[in-house]
Amino acid sequence: MTFGRSGAASVVLNVGGARYSLSRELLKDFPLRRVSRLHGCRSERDVLEVCDDYDRERNEYFFDRHSEAFGFILLYVRGHGKLRFAPRMCELSFYNEMIYWGLEGAHLEYCCQRRLDDRMSDTYTFYSADEPGVLGRDEAPGGAEAAPSRRWLERMRRTFEEPTSSLAAQILASVSVVFVIVSMVVLCASTLPDWRNAAADNRSLDDRSRYSAGPGREPSGIIEAICIGWFTAECIVRFIVSKNKCEFVKRPLNIIDLLAITPYYISVLMTVFTGENSQLQRAGVTLRVLRMMRIFWVIKLARHFIGLQTLGLTLKRCYREMVMLLVFICVAMAIFSALSQLLEHGLDLETSNKDFTSIPAACWWVIISMTTVGYGDMYPITVPGRILGGVCVVSGIVLLALPITFIYHSFVQCYHELKFRSARYSRSLSAEFLN
């Protein structure tokens, strides 16, 4: 710890009048993020950004927070029991205390998570764990002295990254959505037989590549080039104004943008160097695959729609539950496919079911039965096989339902967080529009 009374072996945390003594070494790796941040403070100004007041003589840090709630949270992080709501305290107030100290709703006991979800749904009050200024768009300390160019870059970054942060950001997001929709319509229309026949007739009249310049170029190619130009310019600008270039490249949505843009330029180069004649079938197949990768543009809509953002954030937080679900399905598939192959084909070879000739073939029947799809392309014909099919269907319903509860609560929590963030930026947008 670089700030504090010299020679003191411990520090004192005063939370709403309740005093706690912690050693300096324990403070460094303390489970609560706000408390552990005190270890890296180099000046009194840094300390006052973390706590509300500081007494140098007593080496005491004061936090104007709920003392009873902090006591429950402290017991939890020390491993003494599970985190539940404090008695006679509002669920939303306790959740606000959790966010302040660096915890999330997932740390709550299951019953308390349900109470919190119900209360948040009833009151439409949402909190986010990483909001820099929950009560408004306050500038960070030292913002007044920031250079104009830095403030301009920050405003540009918010315009491109946060569609609800300003009126210009909403207009930019609307234009981007229009380009995505137009590109998807062109992609779908290009697979229609009439469209392909018309394109073939145009190529027979003008023996040029689709991507070559000139008056004979197809309208779909022009539209596609305009959309790609917009997406490329948008991606380049967002990269230039980003704070951390390495972090920008690692973000999933930015990777998807790269996957959606790169195939176009690769296909252009392949068309220029190889052409699309019948003698280069391999190159033609590669071009078709690359062009079909434009379907990734649909995922760009996640930047502008809270539903898709909630889905992505839920999958990110519930990857353990998703893996558990896949394990359940794989284990059940291995068991039922082996049994069904034995009952339908292995016992009586003369009257065997030709659809169940192998265990891999039976796996297809198991998966469509467990998910209650039932295409009807293959089915058991023996009595034991039909009994096994009924057990397979019932077990599939049970196994699929077990992890869904955890995924549902995570989805609700992610939706609340993203909706609150969107509402905060909408309030800022309303103030900016009125001004």
* Domains of the chain, each with CATH number or no CATH: 8-64 (3.30.710.10), 82-129 (no CATH), 152-304 (1.20.120.350), 306-435 (1.10.287.70)
For every residue of 221-233, DSSP letters joined together read HHHHHHHHHHHHH
Tell me how far apart the alpha carbons of residues 432 and 435 are, in angstroms, rounded to a whole number: 5
Tell me how far apart the alpha carbons of residues 242 and 237 are, in angstroms, rounded to a whole number: 9
Would you state the pLDDT for residue 153?
78
Would you state the pLDDT for residue 136?
40
User: What does the block give as tokens for 323?
Assistant: 């893996």
By the 10 Å C-beta count (0-12 exposed, 13-18 middle, 19+ buried), 204 is classed as: exposed
User: What does the block give as tokens for 129?
Assistant: 């764990």
Per-residue pLDDT for the chain (435 aa), expressed as one digit of tens each?
Answer: 555 555 567 888 999 888 988 887 777 778 888 888 888 888 888 888 888 888 888 888 899 998 888 988 888 888 767 788 888 888 888 888 888 888 887 788 878 887 877 777 655 444 444 444 433 434 444 444 445 667 777 778 778 777 777 788 888 888 888 888 888 888 788 778 777 666 666 655 555 444 444 434 567 778 888 888 888 888 888 888 887 888 888 887 788 788 778 878 887 777 777 655 444 445 556 666 766 777 777 777 777 777 778 888 888 888 888 888 899 899 999 999 999 988 888 776 666 788 888 888 899 999 999 988 888 888 888 888 899 999 999 999 998 888 888 888 888 888 877 777 666 555 555 444 444
Longest dimension (CA), the chain: 93
pLDDT in tens, 33-72: 888 888 888 888 888 888 888 888 888 889 999 888 898 8
Q: How many CB atoms lie within 10 A of CB 306?
A: 16
pLDDT in tens, 293-322: 777 777 777 777 777 788 888 888 888 888
Would you state the pLDDT for residue 277?
47
The H or E element that residue 60 is part of is strand 60-63
Sign of CA dihedral 361, 363, 366, 367: negative
- Residues 392/336, Cβ–Cβ less than 8 Å: yes
Tell me how far apart the alpha carbons of residues 343 and 64 are, in angstroms, rounded to a whole number: 70
**H helix runs in 124-214, sequence order:** 148-161, 167-189, 193-205
